A and B are shown apart, each in its own frame.
Chain A
Amino acid sequence: DGGITQSPKYLFRKEGQNVTLSCEQNLNHDAMYWYRQDPGQGLRLIYYSQIVNDFQKGDIAEGYSVSREKKESFPLTVTSAQKNPTAFYLCASSIQPPETAEQFFGPGTRLTVL
């Protein structure tokens, strides 16, 4: 089955801890994205990548980091610098050119700070 997988489904972070959220796709898409969803605020872009070894900051990149070493993988690290990380995190992907392409989403990871 083609699609996007995210793991884990639930993640708990202690103060001062870095955690990494996994996103893998087997759709052969070049572009991948990370969004954060908070109640009442909608989805906001954290980072995106249009090609391997290249990525760009989104609207709320502070306290987050990413890597794109493989086409199918785009992990997101939530660092201790992110003061309010409790949220639902969604990964997405699309073909090129992304501005005309349909975006597909994974099932999400819910991160909670203890």
Chain B
Amino acid sequence: KQEVTQIPAALSVPEGENLVLNCSFTDSAIYNLQWFRQDPGKGLTSLLLIQSSQREQTSGRLNASLDKSSGRSTLYIAASQPGDSATYLCAVPGQAGTALIFGKGTTLSVSS
């Protein structure tokens, strides 16, 4: 059964710092991996989707990489800002290939 783990559970950094969030999954036979952002009390906002044939995707200050063979993905945030404070979730499709299996997230706090 697919399991997704995110480390660390929480992270506090000063504004301007570059940071890396980690995501690992137990079954490497995935179609894709998706990173989301969730603000308190809100729904999920899709940040990046990496297909299994890709190694990385970039959107603005965000860069996500995928290493299927090792079961890992990283989300790199450059020049962090207080507005980046949120919980970041990664997810992969489950066994049926449809609904997502989520990690528990990393809660990021960026101080000014």
Contact = CB atoms under 8 A, between A and B. Distances in A.
Q: Is the interface of A mostly helix, strand, loop or mixed?
A: strand
Contact of B46 (A40, A56, A90, A103): A103
Contacts of B99: 33, 35, 45, 48, 58, 98
B44 A99 contact: no
Interface string B30-59: 011010100001111110010100000000
B97 interface: yes
B103 A98 contact: no
B42 A99 contact: no
Q: How large is the interface on A (under 10, 10 to 19, 20 to 34, 35 or more residues)?
A: 20 to 34
Nearest to B42: A107
B41 A98 contact: no
B51 A100 contact: yes
Interface of B: 31-32, 34, 36, 41-46, 49, 51, 89, 91, 93-94, 96-100, 102-105
